[in-house]
């Protein structure tokens, strides 16, 4: 598959198994607070609901969420349920399991036997009788270890009809191969963006060869990760943004989408204006020279 395509990303789609999604989706993490996971100020509930509804109006039919996306007074899954149920027929909701947080916010990691409870929690919160896509999110401590036992437990839940499709998150190429030997994998959700190391670039290309969607997170935030966009950016990124009269975030998103037709975006925001900008980035055309200059950063 070519990584040179330059048609507007928002007019192209990709299939997650038998589900067709638009390539610019939406990440729900930032709906619950201004600083996820660290007790930040909660978002206004009605505003978050409005952002979700507006996202669907703008063409989003792929939403990424998790039961552990919650703050003291907000739950991403509850907000999605409130905003969008009864759900549009073409809406695909992807969630992730293995990590979890107790009511105090403390993290814990599920055993294979506990994954069913995490899947059921997502089903209850979202008001669904099955989950469209469930990603197995691998903990940092397992980056070099086997994920077979956990992925096998999810494969059993897929066979039972609780899950339609499976994906993996924060994995290595070897772990992807291990999962694919157990059950079909429709997507890989890993950190990726301008300045990504060679190992990550290689995995993105490999997913394209396999026909597996690559769903980058932190494509906009970069080194800022959960805290949001990094405070500093390369002058090259600023120069390209100025040339197009758009934000640095839009350039980062447009460049990431340009890495292949199998690349899906899930930018997250609780701000209506930022939502509009993220969606517009899907139509942003970068020249071959601009794309190459941006791609050389960090190498």
Burial of 135 (0-12, 13-18, 19+ CB in 10 A): buried
| Pair 203, 173: CB distance under 8 Å | yes
CA dist list (Å): 94 to 164, 195, 252, 284, 297: 10, 26, 23, 26, 31
Indicate which residues carry an active-site annotation.
69
Q: Which domains, from first to last, does the chain contain?
A: 19-232+260-284 (3.20.20.100)
Element (DSSP H or E) covering residue 123:
helix 115-126
The residue among 291, 288, 279 whose CA lies nearest residue 246 is 279
pLDDT of residue 225: 46
CA dist list (Å): 16 to 132, 213, 244, 286: 9, 7, 32, 26
Reported as half-sphere exposure (CB side, CA atoms, 13 A), residue 272 has a value of 10
204-219 burial by CB neighbour count: b if 16+ within 10 A, else e?
A: bbebbebebbbbbbbb
Q: Put residue 245 in one of left, alpha, beta given phi > 0 → left and psi -120 to 50 → alpha.
A: left
| Full-model pTM | 0.91
209/165 Cα distance (integer angstroms): 19
- What is the crossing angle of helices 248-257 and 235-244, to 10°? 90
Cis, bond preceding 86 (omega within 30 deg of 0): yes
Per residue in 48-80, pLDDT (tens digit) is 999 999 999 999 999 999 999 998 889 999 999
pLDDT of residue 298: 73
Structure tokens at 266: 């899930």
| Pair 71, 40: CB distance under 8 Å | yes
User: What pLDDT tens digit does each residue of the chain (299 aa) get?
Assistant: 333 333 344 458 999 999 999 999 999 999 998 666 766 677 899 999 999 999 999 999 999 999 999 988 899 999 999 999 999 999 999 999 999 999 888 999 999 999 999 999 999 999 999 999 999 999 999 988 999 999 999 999 999 999 999 999 999 999 999 999 999 999 999 999 999 999 999 999 999 999 999 999 988 865 444 444 454 568 999 999 999 999 999 999 999 999 999 999 999 999 999 999 999 999 999 999 999 999 998 76
């Amino acid at each position: 598959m070519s990584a040179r395509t330059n048609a507007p990303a928002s007019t192209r789609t990709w299939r997650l198994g038998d589900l067709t999604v638009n390539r610019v989706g939406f990440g729900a993490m930032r709906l619950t607070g201004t600083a996820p996971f660290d007790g930040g100020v909660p978002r206004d509930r009605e505003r978050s609901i409005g952002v979700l509804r507006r996202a669907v109006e703008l063409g989003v039919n792929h939403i990424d969420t998790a039961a552990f996306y919650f703050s003291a007074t907000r739950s991403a899954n509850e907000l999605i349920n409130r905003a969008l149920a009864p759900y549009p027929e073409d809406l695909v909701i992807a969630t992730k399991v293995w990590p979890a947080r107790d009511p105090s916010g403390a993290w814990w990691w599920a055993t294979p036997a506990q994954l069913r409870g995490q899947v059921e929690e997502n089903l209850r919160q979202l008001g669904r009788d099955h989950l469209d896509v469930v990603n197995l999110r691998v903990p940092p401590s397992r980056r070099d270890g086997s994920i077979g036992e956990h992925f096998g437990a999810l494969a059993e839940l897929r066979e039972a009809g609780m899950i339609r499709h499976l994906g993996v998150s924060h994995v290595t190429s070897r772990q992807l191969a291990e999962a694919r030997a157990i059950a079909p994998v429709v997507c890989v959700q890993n950190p990726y963006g301008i300045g990504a190391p060679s190992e990550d670039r290689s995995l993105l290309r490999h997913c394209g060869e396999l026909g597996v969607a690559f769903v980058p997170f932190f494509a906009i935030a970069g080194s800022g990760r959960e805290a949001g966009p990094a405070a500093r950016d390369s002058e090259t990124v600023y120069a390209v943004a100025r040339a197009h009269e758009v934000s640095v975030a839009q350039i980062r998103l447009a460049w990431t989408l340009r890495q292949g037709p199998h690349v899906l975006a899930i930018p997250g925001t609780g701000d209506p204006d930022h939502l509009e900008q993220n969606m517009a980035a899907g139509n942003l055309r970068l020249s071959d020279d601009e794309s190459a200059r941006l791609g050389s950063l960090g190498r």
